[in-house]
Structure 1
Amino acid sequence: MSSVLQHIPPIDLHDFFTNIDLTTLAVAAPSLFILAHLVPYLWDSHAARSIPGPFLAKFTDAWLGLVAKNGHRSEVVHEMHQKYGPLVRLAPNHISIADPDALNIVYAHGNGALKSNFYDAFVSIRRGVFNTRDRQEHARKRKIVSHIFSQKSVVEFEPHIRQHVADLIAQWDHPPPPPDVRPGVNYLAFDIVGDLAFGAPFGMIAAAKDVAKVPRNQEGAMDSYGKDDSDEDAVEVPAVKILNGRGEYSMALGVLPPWWRPFVRMIPWYRRGSKDVKTLAGIAIMAVKKRLASPTDRVDLLSKLKAGRDSNGNPMGREELTAEALTLLIAGSDTTSNSTCAIIYHLAHNPHIQQRLHHELDEQLGTEDEIAATADQVKRLPYLEACINEGLRIHSTSAIGLPRVIPDGGLTILGHFFPAGTVVSVPSYSIHRDTAIWGEDVEDYRPERWFERDQAAMQKTFNPFSVGPRACVGRNLAFLELQIICASLLRRYEFVLESPDEPLGLQLQTSEGFLRKPLGCMVGIKRRDV
């Protein structure tokens, strides 16, 4: 056989493509394209052919890619569930399962399910605890990271949170009030995470501007940690805008097959998103560099990360430390600002709810001198907690179904067996609108439901921070921030409709990258006499 092969002349690809008949190519190319999508559907290796969904989604990932790029994935997927039922096919190998009972199967401890290649689109600098897919590596990282977000550790950050809330209030106290509260809330969230993570705020509240700094030479910055730094080596960038662009890009890219991604990145919209990824990494690089170049006794998240050790006693390396700092920056800013905006918006559109919250705040906090509420004070505010939870339910900032790969041996979910390798997800947006759990008025912002309905069923379904071993490690800090921010702002101000003629119950306009963000929060601000 080998002697025969030696006499076969090599194929000249240039000659082959030069001499190929164009008519044959015109017929063959579409045929091959159709077969590449039709054969997997007919083969049905993931036992998904019987699961309903959009027609194109049965054959190609392009349907979900376009939906994700358009910025309303959660709403569209929810519409599909309302049309087809709890199981919907979103792509040839991706099934969305809109049922609360699926949460603890798909995301449970010890079920063997891994994160899908969707998370590869979120890797920057190097893999962090959020986008690590290897189970052992994730366990190692989580061991180092999780202790810094314990309830005891989080309380240490309370004075810094309160200081930045007081700074924002001091700015809002001076007329004219801002026409849109969203920028101020964004500045607040970024300054808090900057201070807690890197020992110094970004200065957005003071500047009243979306601004952060990146190194002129990001590659060089990675090689000069611990050295004296100067602002002359940095340029200013709009961090909030870049963070939004990065989320939109990574979401739209992540739902596409890995082999598509190099080609898709050539499209101008994706090229801009790729630039946002690099710039956002530069913000983390700059912040970490400045923090390490200025030793201090200040306890912050970065110092805790640096002091952390894995089970072998090894610390994080420089790049790994920066990657985790980037995760802190993203998770600690966008989620807090998005949720705060949504809560303020719904309170403004429901004056009777805001009035009841004002009554609780006045009764429990009284006329104490502190401008910003304390951690001890917010613990005794059950209606505030209900208002926050209702905001997190109706405006799920992390609303998509986080994709997981079925492990060897398969899993049975809602009576359907899914073989190994199938990608499944449970969309928070949809289960937060399950009428059997929340009532027929699921689209209404009504905190009272948290006292009236089945508490066990609601807590089982409520999924703002995910569940299982990959749940958000910073949930304690995130909720404390929301409590202090909302208690302080609502004690100080009344938020009212921008226009008296504006209809109540108007839907909050959003755009979704990885997170759902409000496009604005146009409400009036009135100073209360407390």
Structure 2
Amino acid sequence: MSESGLLVDIRHWFQCYAFDVIGLITYAKRLGFLDQGDDIGGVIGALEEHLGYATLVGIFPSLHQYLFSIKNYLAGSQGSGRAYVLKFTNERIREAQVIPKPVATDESSVAMEDFLTKFLAKHAANADLFTNYHVLAGCTSNMVAGSDTTAISLSAVLYYLLKNPQCLLRLREEVDGLAVQSDPSKFPTFKESQQMPYLQAVIKEALRLHPATGLPLERVVPEGGATISGRFFPEGTIVGINTWVAHRNTHVFGEDAERFCPERWLIDDNDKLSIMNRYYLPFGLGSRTCIGRHVSMLEMSKLIPRLVRDWDFQLDSSLHAKEWRTLNYWFVKPMDFKLGIKRRQLVKDVNSKE
């Protein structure tokens, strides 16, 4: 793609990456999104359609009982939205049952089982407690929740780095510094990424300014009402905190809360850091915390250093003077994040020529 000179829809490729990772984790099988660069089986399209529907009926739930059956009827035999993803997952389950997969091990001989293998083993041990439905629901949840959010977050990290070249330069110096100490041809490991404080600050700041979820996680005030932030809400009131609003609270993040500034997470003021961390909720908080957040952080921590190390990116000229365009159907998805890409000369290559 770099040799073609064409602009690349990088968010699409990030979602292909995230899908292949979640496929490997869930089914021990890469689904082939990166290999083909395409929407395998229409799953990405099905998820987008499902999210659009789920967002609207989530806000107007009374419509769901009327629209759902009509929507699936119009979709035909292939199913619609989540129904299609369920069908896709069922096919992967049947494959696993017909052709059992060998259990792989890593260098330390620690068994690495995919989710499906674990679920099927749990089902075999107690089919009444862990039913076929639980197997299907667990795998489907991985597929539904594991791609869009990571693709959006990866896009946000790269977008803000390109809009703030001084931050990209500092991160690249950190990544190159680690590459000099090791073999720059190898993939950065998760352990190495944890030795890059500026990388972690960049990821954290990008998710502060562009959290993947754009609607509140709503709750219902219980019997007797509740006083929240000094205001009384009667029972039955629907309340929630919008992450985008919370992350731009100038009393917490400073007067420059709208500015991309990874350095705000590298200060020595522990009290200030503690307050910011309390208001930081890109993965939710409490019982609403995303259970897949560690997988997403793993994917970002491994990929971003390699992209920064190996490639130069050029924003489409239309994005230089303005913000990117996004669409909020529960997930706030960038719609026009296209980049020019050029292979970067690695530190090792430079040293060899010297």
**TM-score between both structures, scaled by the size of structure 2:** 0.85
Provide the rounded CA distance (Å) in 2 between the counterparts of 1:344 and 1:498: 13
2:293 is aligned to: 475
Provide the rounded CA distance (Å) in 2 between the counterparts of 1:461 and 1:442: 12
Which amino acid in the other structure matches residue 26 of structure 2?
A
Query: Would you say the 8 A contact 1:387–1:447 is kept in 2?
Result: yes
1:252 aligns with 2:67: no
1:498 is aligned to: 316
1:277 aligns with 2:82: yes
Provide the rounded CA distance (Å) in 2 between the counterparts of 1:371 and 1:378: 13
Q: Per-residue deviation at 1:266?
A: 8.1
Provide the rounded CA distance (Å) in 2 between the counterparts of 1:195 and 1:326: 14
1:403 aligns with 2:232: no
Flag the 1:308–1:474 CA change in 2: closer, same or farther, 3 A.
Answer: farther
Provide the rounded CA distance (Å) in 2 between the counterparts of 1:278 and 1:269: 8
Query: Would you say the 8 A contact 1:392–1:464 is kept in 2?
Result: yes
Q: Per-residue deviation at 1:270?
A: 11
2:40 is aligned to: 211
Aligned partner of 1:380 among 151, 172, 195: 195
Residues 91-123 of structure 1 show CA distances to partners (whole Å, capped at 9, x for unaligned) of xxxxxxxxxxxxxxxxxxxxxxxxxxxxxxxxx
SS in 2 for 1:320: helix
Which amino acid in the other structure matches residue 261 of structure 1?
H
Query: Would you say the 8 A contact 2:72–2:80 is kept in 1?
Result: no
Query: Would you say the 8 A contact 2:174–2:198 is kept in 1?
Result: yes
1:358 aligns with 2:187: no
Provide the rounded CA distance (Å) in 2 between the counterparts of 1:270 and 1:394: 40
1:448 aligns with 2:263: yes
1:186 is aligned to: 15
Superposed, which structure 2 residues align to 1:93-108 within 5 Å?
Answer: none
Aligned residues between the structures: 329
Provide the rounded CA distance (Å) in 1 between the counterparts of 2:68 and 2:119: 33
Flag the 1:375–1:357 CA change in 2: closer, same or farther, 3 A.
Answer: same
Q: CA RMSD in A?
A: 2.6
2:108 is aligned to: none
2:139 is aligned to: 325
SS in 1 for 2:266: helix
Provide the rounded CA distance (Å) in 2 between the counterparts of 1:267 and 1:445: 44
1:242 is aligned to: 46
Query: Would you say the 8 A contact 1:509–1:520 is kept in 2?
Result: yes
Aligned partner of 2:282 among 464, 475, 481: 464
Residues 317-365 of structure 1 show CA distances to partners (whole Å, capped at 9, x for unaligned) of 1112111111101111111111111211221121111111100000123
Give the percent of matched residue pairs that are identical in Structure 1 and Structure 2. 29
SS in 2 for 1:278: helix
Larger Rg: 1
Superposed, which structure 2 residues align to 1:84-123 within 5 Å?
Answer: none
1:145 is aligned to: none
Provide the rounded CA distance (Å) in 2 between the counterparts of 1:364 and 1:431: 35
SS in 2 for 1:297: coil
Provide the rounded CA distance (Å) in 2 between the counterparts of 1:380 and 1:288: 38
Provide the rounded CA distance (Å) in 1 between the counterparts of 2:197 and 2:226: 39
Unaligned runs of 5+ in 2: 104-112, 347-354
Residues 398-418 of structure 1 show CA distances to partners (whole Å, capped at 9, x for unaligned) of 231101122334322112233
SS in 2 for 1:290: helix
Flag the 1:178–1:188 CA change in 2: closer, same or farther, 3 A.
Answer: farther
2:120 is aligned to: 306
1:195 aligns with 2:24: yes
Flag the 1:369–1:278 CA change in 2: closer, same or farther, 3 A.
Answer: same
Flag the 1:439–1:211 CA change in 2: closer, same or farther, 3 A.
Answer: same
Aligned partner of 1:521 among 325, 337, 345: 337
Query: Would you say the 8 A contact 2:22–2:142 is kept in 1?
Result: yes
2:230 is aligned to: 415
1:293 aligns with 2:95: no
Q: Per-residue deviation at 1:392?
A: 0.8
Query: Would you say the 8 A contact 1:347–1:495 is kept in 2?
Result: no
1:439 aligns with 2:257: no
Which amino acid in the other structure matches residue 46 of structure 2?
I
Which amino acid in the other structure matches residue 468 of structure 1?
G
Query: Would you say the 8 A contact 2:211–2:244 is kept in 1?
Result: yes
Unaligned runs of 5+ in 1: 1-171, 213-237
Aligned partner of 1:262 among 49, 62, 65: 65
Provide the rounded CA distance (Å) in 1 between the counterparts of 2:344 and 2:73: 46
Query: Would you say the 8 A contact 2:2–2:340 is kept in 1?
Result: no
Q: Per-residue deviation at 1:443?
A: 2.5
Which amino acid in the other structure matches residue 99 of structure 2?
S
Q: Per-residue deviation at 1:514?
A: 2.2
Residues 251-306 of structure 1 show CA distances to partners (whole Å, capped at 9, x for unaligned) of 10111143x33345588799669822321222222222222322123311222333
Query: Would you say the 8 A contact 2:189–2:302 is kept in 1?
Result: yes
Residues 41-100 of structure 1 show CA distances to partners (whole Å, capped at 9, x for unaligned) of xxxxxxxxxxxxxxxxxxxxxxxxxxxxxxxxxxxxxxxxxxxxxxxxxxxxxxxxxxxx
SS in 2 for 1:496: strand
Provide the rounded CA distance (Å) in 1 between the counterparts of 2:314 and 2:274: 34
Superposed, which structure 2 residues align to 1:335-346 within 5 Å?
Answer: 335-346=149-160
Query: Would you say the 8 A contact 1:365–1:377 is kept in 2?
Result: no
Flag the 1:306–1:486 CA change in 2: closer, same or farther, 3 A.
Answer: same
